[in-house]
Amino acid sequence: MKITQISIKNFRLLEDVKLCLEDITTVIVGRNNSGKTSLTELFRHLLDERSLKFKLEDFSLGIQEQFWDSYKLYRNGKEETDVRNSLPLIATTLYVEYEKDEDLGPLAHFIIDLNEECTSAQINIRYALGPGKIKPLFADLDEDKSVFFKTLKERIPNLFEATVEAQDPNDSTNRKLLEVTNLRSVLQFAFIDARRRGNPDRYRAWKRAPDSGSAQR
């Protein structure tokens, strides 16, 4: 079982990105501000045991203006469906491949197709405004943009919700809502934070780590 592809939309520098992963090791390199840290931080959020929440700053800068456009639609009396569809969301899709005779373990929750020849699964994670939350999101907002976004910053973590669903790779209409805990059971990640040479104290702490027994992780 392995993740073969990751699709990410609207998270920080990753406004619309697809990554294809190698069978054994995938190395991601790039200049500063190319999205390497954004990718790491996305998976930190997905694996956070406290809650799966994002902030206004986590939405890609290029799409934050859509909040203002959605507010204008709301103020002009547009249909709730139109307003909701115009709102930005953070989306991640994981594509997983597995062997027919493999012990699927937690991945079994995400396999919902009936095709015995199919050996792939699709996991969709969405962070979007919760049902019935349009009015609380936009109520009594200021027409001044700076005040508008300041208020929005406070409301998003309380009104937006994360959903995790399995999708049939061969039928986009066949979907099943699951719990965030199901996702975390499938994902197995470990993070090694960078140690910069310019900080001797951090370098010495890294050198001492083997004595503590924690450097093996």
pLDDT of residue 199: 55
DSSP state of 139: T
Q: Where are the alpha helices (DSSP H) in 76-144?
A: 80-86, 134-138
C-alpha to C-alpha distance for 138 and 67, rounded to whole angstroms = 10
The closest alpha carbon to 104, from 182, 177, 181, belongs to: 182
C-alpha to C-alpha distance for 40 and 27, rounded to whole angstroms = 13
Name the maximum alpha-carbon separation found in the chain: 64
Structural tokens at position 27: 């190395």
C-alpha to C-alpha distance for 96 and 194, rounded to whole angstroms = 28
C-alpha to C-alpha distance for 29 and 200, rounded to whole angstroms = 25
C-alpha to C-alpha distance for 204 and 93, rounded to whole angstroms = 39
The closest alpha carbon to 75, from 148, 153, 10, 13, belongs to: 148
pLDDT of residue 211: 43
Length of the chain: 217
pLDDT of residue 212: 39
Per-residue pLDDT of the chain (217 residues; tens, 9 = 90+): 899 999 999 999 999 999 999 988 888 888 888 999 999 999 999 988 778 999 999 999 999 999 999 999 999 999 999 999 999 999 999 999 999 999 999 999 999 999 999 999 999 999 999 999 999 999 999 899 999 999 999 999 999 999 999 999 999 999 999 999 999 999 977 777 766 665 545 444 434 344 434 333 3
pLDDT of residue 59: 98
pLDDT of residue 49: 79
pTM of the predicted model, to two decimals? 0.86
pLDDT of residue 196: 62
